[in-house]
Structure formats: C-alpha cells, structure tokens
Amino acid sequence: MQRLSGLDASFLYLETSSQVLHVCGLITLDGTTMPGGYSFAEFKRQLAERVLLIPAFRRKLHNPLWNVGHPVWVEDEDFDLDHHVHRIGVPAPGDRTELAELCAHIAGQQLDRTHPLWQLYVIEGLADGGIAVLIKMHHASVDGVSGASLIAYLAGLSPDAPPPDIEPEERRNAHVPGRFDLLRSGVATVVKRPYALVKLLPDLVELVPGWLGKALRGKGMPVPFTAPRTSLNGTITGHRSVAYAQLDLEDVKRVKNAFRVTVNDVVLALVSGALRQFLDDRGELPGDPLVATVPVSVHERTEREGGSNKVSAFFASLPTHLPDPAARVFFLAEANRRSKAHHYDIDADMLADWAQFSAASMFGLAVRAYSALRLAEKHPVVHNLVVSNVPGPPMPLYLLGARITGLYPLGPVFHGAGLNITVLSNAGKVDVGLLGAKELVQDLWPLADALPDALAELLKAAPA
C-alpha cells in the first residue's frame, strides 16, 4: 500500500478552485525531427507505449470514507489515455501571445481527482510551424525534481530513442486495498501521531528562539510578514496569466564567473533586475527589497523514504531597491549565503515530519475562509512571490521523437503571492516560465521581456 506522505497530501487539502495546486510544463518542439515527420497519431502511439511502462502516469487517488489516514495511490484499472491526452489548435496567428493565453486557460482548471492526476495537451498551429505540449501534473504527485524526471522518462537522447528500461515488477502500482487493511493502516498511523508529536516538539521548541533571533538580527533569511506590499500580493481567483523567456546559459555562467558567485545568485539577480523594471514601469517600486520564497530540493539530504515531494524552502531578499546591477549581485551573494546557512539550521525532514499532521477538513476550511474574508489583504505580507531554480538536462532531448526547443516550467500561485517565476536550465539555455494570478498581474510579457534586459545589464556591469 502506497500512502501519500503528509506533505504530498497537504497539496490536496490546500487546493481550491482559486488556489489550484498543480504544476505545468510548456514544452516547445521541432516536430520535423520525428522519423517520418510529425503526426499526432504517432506521437500518441509512442506516448501510450511509455505510459504503460511508467506507473506514476497510471496511479490514482483512493480515499474512501473509512480511510482515516492520508489517501493512498492505487492502479487505475480503467485507465484510458484519451482522458489525459488532448489535441488542440492555438488561435491564429499562433504567436507567443495566443500560446500563452491558451496555456493560462488550461493552467487555471483543476484536475479531476477520480483519474490519474495529469493531463497533456498537444498544441498545433503555431506560427513558426512547430508544435507545443503543455503537461499538467498535480503537486501531490510531483515536485520540481521528480516532475523533470518523469518528463525525462518520456524523452530520449535521439529521435528514435527506445522506451525506458523498467523492470516488469516495477511497472504497476498497488491494487486497491481491502477495507480492513486500509482502515487498520490508517488507524495505526493516527494512533502513532501523539508519540510522533512528542518526539518533534522538543526540537521545534529548541529551534524557534535561535532561528527567529538570527533572522531578527539580520544574520539569516528575512523574517516572514516583513515583505513590502505590492499589487502582486492579494487574494487570487482561478484565472491565470502566463509568459515565458529564454536566455543563453553561457551568458549566465559568464556573469557567475565574473562576479565569482553561484548560478542561483545570478538567477535571483536576473529576477530582481526584471522585477525592478516591471514594478517601476507600473509606478509601484517599493523602497525595500522584495521577499521571495525559494523552494529547495532535499532529495539528497532526506532520510525519509516514500513520498513525491521532498522539498523545503527559504526566504530570499530580492534587492529591487538597488539601481546598480553589480550592487544587486553582491547583495544577493551575501544575503543568500546567510539565508542558506540559516536554512540549514532546520532539519531537511522537518517540513515533511510536521506535514504528517495535516488534516483535510481543517486545511480546506481554513483556505476557504482565508479566501472569502480576503485576509491576504489585511495582514502584513508574508512574501511577495515564489522563485524556483530547477536543474534541467544539459544535453538536447527529444520528446517522443520531437526535439525539445524550450522547456518552460509553470509553478502554482497562492493567496497573498500571485506570481511564480520558475527557471530551468535546458541544453545550453535558461528557460523561464512565469505564471501569475490574472486579476493581480494581467500581462506578464513586460516582465518576461525585462529578463533579457536584466541579463544584458549584468553582462555590462561584470568585472573584466
């Protein structure tokens, strides 16, 4: 029996029609590399072949009334690929604006929980003659790293790459458990929770004073609820806006080497420079740094087995208040050094351990009340946006025979923080996906177009 971890399940419990918690990936493709040329029928045939081998694409939630623990994953015995794969055309003239608007519409729709939690849209009719794929997967089933790995299972190093080699015994999910087994497993988990809580509390009590003290003294990451308020920070609906940009990885590395900082420092400097221009053009540039939540993978640090999401996060100051691009890089290098050290004070498994106590009814009621009362606009801002940096493939990949020309991740937004910027390295490029709450930021293209300007600014300011 494969039960969801508390962290995985929390993405189900916190989801509403306005706060949808799936992740998307917009993949642009050159279909001419497919043997014999692109055809939807062949694309779907190859996809079906791989989906039969990869159990993550065929698992669905099982959560009957007698289940007192978190839901479990089971094999969908009635799996039908036609429910998940759709062929659509982008409206004329098929340029980036129409493509982004179509993706935004799809990104705002909830996934059907009675089926495996993913959808794939093959988008034809692009102005450049290419095709695009938008894949949508629930955050309960993937994080950034595991999501990229699943896409890699569908891809190969050549147009005619064979399907992944997966052992027969690993190709199926668990069957639906019996009523008694499910109830017994759930009760055993619930009974252990008070003991688990007693074990966790001393570490938390010991950690919090020192952690907060370091933050308040300016020796760690920013303190939550201290971010400046912008128009990005309010109550969201289910409407979304999307944009994307592509940069040269070599230019990013040139900046990294010139300033002797990390790639992540450069990424945050790029985002800071673009946000500074974007907010200034809107007449709302705050005098204080913005605060971003930066998700961090703990796949290599965790001691917990199972679960799809192995993540933590830290708060990062984005120096949008500094006009000098070089000063922004140096600010970030020092601030990130402190934030990362501060973040490592927290055990890699602490978030996952505490998430085990998440409760569906309590979380659901809390989110709906928070939204209905528009509380995000009535208390100090926790953070302004989410910025993720996900490592991607260093070499060109072919998705079911079609060469990937762009891989733009689109992460979720939340009440109080209506912008997500996710960066992914991809075969010598840096692909940036931007997703926003449409009522808070209707047009993201000015921000996307400010990213190349921010990179040019950093290259010009880089020490010789």
25 touches 410 (CB < 8 A) = yes
The Cα–Cα gap between 375 and 57 comes to: 37
The letter for the amino acid at 73 is W
Known catalytic residues? 139
Contact 220, 338 (CB under 8 A): yes
CB of 278 within 8 A of CB of 330?
no
What does the block give as tokens for 414? 């939340």
DSSP conformation class of 178 = P
Which residue in this structure is represented by tokens 């039969």? 52
3-state secondary structure of 452: helix
Q: How far apart are CA 131 and CA 32, in angstroms?
A: 10
Beta bridge partners of 388: 422
DSSP class of residue 308? S
265, 329 contact by CB (below 8 A): yes
Residue 202 C-beta-side C-alpha neighbours within 13 Å:
4
Phi/psi of residue 448, each to 5°? -60, -40
